[in-house]
Amino acid sequence: MDKNAKIYIAGHRGLVGSALMRNLCARGYANFLTRTHAELDLTSQAAVEAFFAAEKPDYVFLAAARVGGIHANNTYPAEFIRDNLAIQTNIIHAAYKNTVKRLLFLGSSCIYPKLAPQPMKEEHLLTGPLEPTNRPYALAKIAGIEMCWAYNRQYGTQYLAVMPTNLYGPGDNYHPENSHVIPALIRRFHEAKLASAPNVMVWGSGTPRREFLYSEDMADACVYLMNLPDEEFARLLWPAGSPLESCNLGLAPLVNIGVGHDLSIRELAETVKDVVGYQGKLEFDSSKPDGTPRKLMDVGRLNAMGWKAHTGMREGLARAYQDFMAANTH
C-alpha cells in the first residue's frame, strides 16, 4: 500500500480497528477514512454507498461487526445475524462499485465447525456442524467470506478474508456479561481483588482449550498481508493456482491468524488471576455451557508467508490489564 493511499478502517474504535490504526500509523500511513457509528450507520445501504462514492477509498479493512461472548450470542441472536450480514454486504458491494484495490475482511476462528480437526486449517471451513451458541454470528461471517470469494470470481476483485483466533488487548470490551473470556476474567478478578472476595466463579468446567492472540500482533499480520506483492497476494486469493481449481477444491481466499498453540480455560484463569494479583480461590461453574472443546489454528500458511506472532501470553495479559486499569481509573 502506498503511504499516501486512502485507507478506510470500518470499526476503527473497536479492539481490531484501533489496533489496525496504531499499526498503520507506526508504519507512516496517515490518510485514513474513519467514521463513528453516529456519523455513518453501516447497516444502511444508502449511507454506505454515499460514503464510498464521496470518499473513494483505495484500501478497506472491514473490522466493523457486532461481536460478543457466549452470553451475548445466546441473548441477541437476531442482532448478531442481521447486523453482521448488513454491514459486510453493504461495504463489500460498495467497495466493488467504487473500485477499491484491496479489501481485508475480518472473520473469526469461532466460525469453524464445532468439532473441526485440530489444528484447524483454512479448508476445514463448512466441513461440519457449527457451535450452536454462536451459529447466527458464524453464518453471517461465513456469508461474508463467501461474498469475498464470489466477487473475486465474478468481478476480479482482490478481497481477502482473515481468520483471527481469540483476540484480546487494548480497547477490549470489559462488560461483565457481554464480553469475551479474557476481558471478562480481567474485570472479575480485579473487582474481586478490590472487594477482597474469598473466591471467583468462572463460567464452565475450565477444561476447553483455547488459543489467544494479542490484538497488536493480529493487526501487524493484517497489514503485512495487505502489503504483500501482487503475485503473493494472488496466491492467497487462489490457493490452488487458478479461480476454477480453487473453487472446485473449496479453497476460499482465507488465511488463519494465530499463535499456533493453546491452553485450557483453567490455565488461562490461573494466569489472569496471577497477573491481576488476586489472592482468593478459583472455582468453576460446570452448570454453564463450555462451548467448543478445542479451537487451535493451523497457522502454517501465514508462517510460510513470513509472519509469526511475537507477544507472549503473560506479556499480553499484563498489557491488557494496564489498559483495563487506565480505562477504569477515574
Task: Calculate the alpha carbon distances from 50 to 5, 44, 84 in Å.
Answer: 20, 10, 19
Q: How confident is the model at residue 215 (pLDDT cuts 50, 70, 90)?
A: very high
For residues 295 and 52, the model is more confident at: 52
> What is the predicted pLDDT for the residue at 38?
93
Instruction: Please indicate, yes or no, if residue 31 is contained in any of the structural domains.
Output: yes
What's the 3-state SS for 212-269? EEEHHHHHHHHHHHHCCCHHHHHHHHCCCCCHHHHHHCCCCCEEEECCCCCEEHHHHH
Nearest to 277 by CA among 214, 322, 330, 329: 322
> What is the predicted pLDDT for the residue at 288?
85
Mean local confidence (pLDDT), 265-272 = 96
Instruction: Please indicate, yes or no, if residue 199 is contained in any of the structural domains.
Output: no
Q: Among residues of the chain, what percentage have pLDDT more than 90?
A: 81
> What is the predicted pLDDT for the residue at 291?
74
User: Residue 146's domain spans which residues?
Assistant: 7-168+212-259+297-311
Q: Contact 264/174 with Cβ under 8 angstroms?
A: no
For 2-34, the pLDDT digits (tens) are 999 999 999 999 999 999 999 999 999 999 999
The catalytic residue positions are: 137
Instruction: Please indicate, yes or no, if residue 176 is contained in any of the structural domains.
Output: no
Instruction: Please indicate, yes or no, if residue 67 is contained in any of the structural domains.
Output: yes
For 192-211, the pLDDT digits (tens) are 999 999 999 998 999 999 99
> What is the predicted pLDDT for the residue at 139?
96
Instruction: Please indicate, yes or no, if residue 79 is contained in any of the structural domains.
Output: yes
Instruction: Please indicate, yes or no, if residue 227 is contained in any of the structural domains.
Output: yes
> What is the predicted pLDDT for the residue at 245?
86
Domain count, the chain: 1
Q: Contact 213/257 with Cβ under 8 angstroms?
A: yes
Q: Look at residue 275 and tell me whether its pLDDT is greater than 60.
A: yes
Question: For the chain, what is the radius of gyration of the CA atoms?
Answer: 20
Instruction: Please indicate, yes or no, if residue 267 is contained in any of the structural domains.
Output: no
Q: How far apart (Å, rounded) are the C-alpha atoms in residues 196 and 193?
A: 5
296 CA to centre of own chain:
14
Phi, psi of 294 (to 5 degrees): -155, 140
Taking the CB of residue 177, how many other CB atoms lie within 10 A of it?
A: 12
Instruction: Please indicate, yes or no, if residue 201 is contained in any of the structural domains.
Output: no
Q: How many residues does the chain have?
A: 330
- Largest Cα–Cα separation, the chain: 62
Q: Contact 95/44 with Cβ under 8 angstroms?
A: no
Q: Contact 62/104 with Cβ under 8 angstroms?
A: yes
Q: How far apart (Å, rounded) are the C-alpha atoms in residues 34 and 9?
A: 6
Q: Look at residue 131 and tell me whether its pLDDT is greater than 90.
A: no
Q: Look at residue 330 and tell me whether its pLDDT is greater than 60.
A: no
Domain with residue 31: its CATH number is 3.40.50.720
pTM score of the predicted model: 0.92
